[in-house]
Every structure is written in structure tokens, then in C-alpha cells.
Structure 1
Amino acid sequence: MPDTRFSILRELFARTQRDLTRLLTRRVGPDHAPDIVQEAFLRVMHRDMTEEIADPPAYLRRTAVNLAMDFSRRRKLESRLFVADAESCDAPSQEPSADETLEADRRARILTSAIETLPPKCREVFVLRMHHDVPQDEIARRLGISRNMVDRHLRIAIKRCRSAVQ
């Protein structure tokens, strides 16, 4: 009797495994579908009264679909309950590396030096615009120069700073 049951289950597995896997792949994804198919076969195999099942392929399919629904519900619940903490996961750090920090410091020193070498009026215009976010019309009014002269000082300062940093 056990040999007959085993051969029936083996034949059922051979006939339905591919279709069940395809069905469950759409529901739970390709990573989890084979495991759920296997779990469904194990449940059917461990059922005591296999002979009483009128339609074994339909019973197996219903078992697999129920397991997939349970899996989906559990995954949804886990996603609500367990929020991944940025510090606890293995995600790359948002902090700059030591090399990046050193490079940024080096470039900042070069930029500061370039700003210090600008002509006084040019430096004043650049600092007011870039560091204090003063509009160009306001800079022109404060320094008693034309708006075109402010633009010219800014172009010179940006060009020199850019070439120094590169």
C-alpha cells in the first residue's frame, strides 16, 4: 500500500510540478515559488487519507495557492512590523570615505587660496555673492559699481577658482 501511494504521489508531482511553479511564481515570485510547491507536496504526502481525495491535482493546487496566500499575508505583515533601521542593515554608509574627506579638504584649501589671490574688488564681489547670497544688483549698489562690472568680477573670480581647483 505505501508503494502504491508513493507512486501516485510521484506521478502527481511529475504532472503538476511545472504548472504549480509557474502559477506560484506569478503570485510570490521566482525565489519563493519552488519552496511553496515543495511544501504543498509535503502536506499532501503527509495527509493520512490520500485515497479519499476525489481530485488530487485540484487538491494539490488548492493547497499550494493557500500556502502562497499565507506567505503573502505574512510578508505584508512583516513589512509593516519590521522597519529596516539604516544603522542595522548592511547598506553602504552615507558618510564620505577617508579619501573623499581628504580630497574635499585639499580642494577647499586650494579654493580658499585662490579666493585670497583675487584682486580686492573681485574678491569682495565673489564673497558677497557666493558666501552671503547677496543679489548682483544689491552688490552693485553697495559697492557703487555698475551691474556689468559685478558680472565681470564674478566671471573672473569663477574662472580663476575653477582653474585652481581642477
Structure 2
Amino acid sequence: MFSREQSAIGDLFERHRRELMTYLLRRVGRDDAPDLLQETFARFIARIEAEAVAEPPPFLQKIAMNLVRDFARAKAAETKLFELGAVGADAPSPELSPLAQMEAMEKWRLVHAAILALPPRCREVFVLYMNDGLDLGAIASRLGMSRNMAQKHMRMALARCWAALE
């Protein structure tokens, strides 16, 4: 049996799903809107477990707006990553054997997939560090986080890249 809180969240979802989905569809498109809608409610649920939310509908809208902003930042960082990856210095040399070229391209594909799978904030830190050459202090300042959090994101990104190659 559902608790009263679960039922209230379900009702809130049913009442506001359509308007949030419409907003997200306009902002991020058909492919990503359902994921952001789910993330909106996941963050809302996590927040109400920590404290009471006085006005849930505006709070849901604010969460969705923040997710759209984070999504746009991640897409911009991803675009930079693709530009670098297309003609990067680490691209296989034409002098390599075809087998070595294939292996290098497969490694690049695995690392690239690992980078794209990173959480948006983590990927943003990684791209700013690797592509823009910013140090972790500058990244932390730019993104409004502590230096320790930027280091944590960078460690996670590097660990996942290395894990993808294993």
C-alpha cells in the first residue's frame, strides 16, 4: 500500500507532468525531455525527504529550469569535446598500421563513451580541465563549487576513462 506522501507525489506528478514535459520538449527536444522530466521529479523527491516544500509546482518548475540550464552547458561542453576529438592531437597517425589505427580508434571510442556517460557537472569539469586548460581552482570558481568538489569530479572522470580502457 502506498503511503500518504507517495500518493501525494503521484498526484503531483499526474497534475504537472504535461506542463513540465511541454516546457522540456521546447527547450531540449524529444530525445532528452523524458529523462529531464524524470530527473526533475527525482530531485524533487530527494528534496522533500530532507525538508518540506511550501509550493511544489513552482519548485518543480525551478528544478526543470535548472536542469535545462545544466543540459545546455553540458551540450556546449560536449560540442567542444567533439570538435577536439574530430581533429585531436591524439588521432591515429596515418603512419600506423591499419590494426594499430583500429585499436587506437576503439580506445578513443571507449573513452569518448565514458566521457559522455559522466554526470553533467562531472563532464563539465573534465572538459574545462582537458579542453580549456583551466586549473581546478579556476574551474571551481567558474562553476560555483569548492576546489575539493572540482577535484572529486576530476578524479571520477579520470577513473571512469581508465575503467573504460580496461
Normalised to the residue count of structure 1, the TM-score between the two structures is 0.47
Structure with bigger gyration radius: 1
